Amino acid sequence: MAKVEFLDMSSTARALGMSEAAFRAHVLSGNELAFTYLSNVAAFGGHAEGEYLPPWSESTWAQTKWKDLGCTFAPTSFGNEKEDRLPHYLVSGWVGLDRALLEEVLAKRDRRIDAQHHWIYVVDFHSQKDYPLRVATQKGTPLFLSVDDIYFIKESPSSAAVVTTKKELTTHLRIIRALCEMAGVPRRGGASSIEKQLQTLGFSGPIDDTIRPILQEAFALKPD
């Protein structure tokens, strides 16, 4: 299987003829898989006992490698008996990022990966099946992820779909602009107001740092 190529966020946006803010909004809408590159990072996997990564082979897993460390991993053990019974691995290569982690990195520019709340995924690019893992770093050596560490598949089917939906994205931004004008949302400080309203409605996100560039994009639109 040929290796998949990856581009950073700015390069992906340029390749698709989009602004970075518009592409970021597209990513946050859940329409694009995000990846990062790991080098010999310990992780434990599966949602339950008995869920394991399949045997590694270069023909199938050209993007990611792992070493099976068994079900006892004392150097990074959390002292949690349930977690100790899960399979542990040493992972290198490209892995997918879970939605919560991606949103936090894009909002805060960098984020410590929390084994209790964040998932990474080993992805089979042929079958589109993914295998969830949790990073198991020692307390003294935390693993941080920044915006510069986020990549996307080059010329993937989903990326090609972005080009065809650029008009749709512009339509969404126009609707946001119209709703902001109707509701009297100010150009400065409007993101925090929208975040508060989302919380009132019972939504956990997005936060103001995510909303702000989308509003800026909407307010920057020029009439036809």
Residue 51: the pLDDT is 63
Name residues whose C-beta falls within 8 Å of residue 78's C-beta, 6 or more positions apart in sequence: 115, 136
What angle is formed at CA 127 by the lines to CA 58 and CA 119, rounded to 5 degrees? 85
Q: Does the pLDDT at position 159 exceed 60?
A: no
- pLDDT tens digits for range 161-171: 444 456 667 78
User: Per the structure block, which two tokens stand in for 13?
Assistant: 């946006």
What angle is formed at CA 30 by the lines to CA 114 and CA 191, rounded to 5 degrees? 80
Q: Could you give the CA distance from residue 151 to residue 123 in angstroms, rounded to a whole number? A: 14
Instruction: Spell out the domain ranges in the chain.
Output: 6-161, 165-219
| Cβ atoms of 150 and 37 closer than 8 Å | no
**Could you count the other beta carbons within 10 Å of the beta carbon of residue 85?**
14
Q: Does the pLDDT at position 23 exceed 60?
A: yes
Q: Could you give the CA distance from residue 70 to residue 120 in angstroms, rounded to a whole number? A: 19
- Please report how many Cα atoms fall inside a 13 Å half-sphere around the Cα of residue 51, on the Cβ side: 11
Check: pTM over 0.75? Answer yes or no: no
